[in-house]
Amino acid sequence: MLQTKLIKLLRKFDKKEWIQLGHFLESPFFFSGRKEERLIVFYHHLKRFYPHFEHKKLTKERVFAVLFPDKPY
């Protein structure tokens, strides 16, 4: 997970950009639906690992478990 394109991109965000991304994702003007709720959950999960995204708990399996708690990986 640490070498994915998304993580590489998110590492380049400064603190202001990271906060703005959160505001954008939580804005009802842009998103309103079940799929978008998962995106917000994903953002809040990654928020714990910002800005370096280097932790042994940051794995694809754990992220999948957070997004889809009732489905096996």
Q: How far is CA 7 from the centre of its chain?
A: 9
Give the number of other CB atoms < 10 A from CB of residue 64.
13
pTM: 0.83
User: How big, in percent rounded to 5, are the helix, strand and coil portions of the chain?
Assistant: 55, 0, 45
Question: What is the rounded CA–CA span in Å between residue 18 and residue 38?
Answer: 17
pLDDT tens for each residue of 24-33: 988 887 776 6
pLDDT tens for each residue of 33-66: 666 788 899 999 999 999 999 999 899 999 999 9
